[in-house]
Amino acid sequence: MSKILILGSSHTGAFQTARHRIAAAFPALDVSYFGLPGSGFFNATLTQGVFAAPEDYARQFQWMETREIDLHPFERVLLVGERFAFGAVMRLLMGQDILEEPQRTKRPLMSRAAMQELIGALVEQRVEALLTKFGRDTRFTFVPAPYPLARSLQSGPGQEKALKSVLKRDTGADWGRTYEARIASEMAAAGLDFLAQPRETRDSYLTTQDRFARQDAPEEASETQIDNRHMNDDYGWQVFCAYAATRLEIRPELEALADETKTGSS
């Protein structure tokens, strides 16, 4: 069996909760899951092939049994959760009007070329950080953190104000394509494999369909009770299938998947 590791931040949860579905549909794969919340993941170290949480980091997911994992036994690694400066890019776009575009919001003007280069610089910093930590390990494929849910554009708690501002522009989706194309080009230049969020999971170019929400949004809720960034097991399943098809060149065994669905495993 091919040993696969899904490694990453809290976004590994979408894959871990889909683990039975993945195991049933891909019996030729032995898939393991290792995730660390928040800063624990981004401050973790990779030393002689062992990925480990900082020594002073206490938080851990309930489904995790260890704070470190040896990467040597794995043939492939799917790393999930890198945001590629998404928030910073959206705030940058929100704060500027583009000289060559007719829409105006009375914000400072910036040329399209300058904006493209600033976006590129932000992305390049994140790619350099990945390269520094993981090197050019050909086993790795990097999939970004999912775009926020479509409902995050609504007024109220959990609203992604910068993203909403960008998507209100006539050229918002174009800037989304520019941003993602720059990620792909910077990753390719660094010799790192980038897998974009599958189109079938998206609502607009920069948002995720609400059906992938990990939890419903309560009618009366505070900012901390709304989660528009973490997705459910179906999202993890969709992304893993895209990874398996494009990188491992295998597809789910439908008979096994149907049997697993009938049992109600989750």
Please answer whether residues 198 and 227 qualify as being in contact, where contact means their C-beta atoms are separated by less than 8 angstroms: no
Per-residue pLDDT band for 38 (boundaries 50, 70, 90) equals confident
Mean local confidence (pLDDT), 38-59: 88
Rounded Cα distance between 193 and 243, Å, is 11
The number of C-alpha atoms within 13 Å of 68 and in the hemisphere containing its C-beta is: 15
In terms of Cβ atoms closer than 10 Å to its own Cβ (0-12, 13-18, 19+), residue 34 is buried
Please answer whether residues 42 and 114 qualify as being in contact, where contact means their C-beta atoms are separated by less than 8 angstroms: no
Interhelix angle 172-190/112-134, rounded to 10 degrees, is 40
Asked whether residue 256 carries a pLDDT value surpassing 80, the answer given is: no
CA angle in degrees (0–180, nearest 5) for 127-141-66? 95
189 CB neighbour count, 10 Å cutoff: 10
116 CB neighbour count, 10 Å cutoff: 17
pLDDT at 162: 97
Asked whether residue 266 carries a pLDDT value surpassing 80, the answer given is: no
Laid out side by side, the sheet with 68-70 consists of: 45-47, 50-52, 68-70
The three-state secondary structure class of 62 is coil
Asked whether residue 258 carries a pLDDT value surpassing 80, the answer given is: no
pLDDT at 210: 97
- Nearest alpha carbon to residue 123 among 182, 175, 78: 182
Rounded Cα distance between 218 and 216, Å, is 6
What stretch of H or E contains 194? Answer: strand 193-194
| CB neighbour list of residue 88: distance below 8 Å, 6 or more residues apart | 122
pLDDT at 78: 98
Asked whether residue 257 carries a pLDDT value surpassing 60, the answer given is: no
pTM equals 0.91
DSSP symbols for 104-142? --SSPEE-HHHHHHHHHHHHHHHHHHHHHHH-S-TTEEE
Asked whether residue 230 carries a pLDDT value surpassing 70, the answer given is: yes
- Nearest alpha carbon to residue 120 among 185, 29, 204: 185
Average pLDDT, the chain: 92
Phi, then psi, of 125 in degrees rounded to 5: -60, -45
What stretch of H or E contains 30? Answer: strand 29-35
- Nearest alpha carbon to residue 194 among 76, 89, 80, 115: 80
Per-residue pLDDT band for 219 (boundaries 50, 70, 90) equals low
The dihedral over CA atoms of 52, 58, 61, 64, expressed in degrees to the nearest 10, equals 50
pLDDT at 79: 98
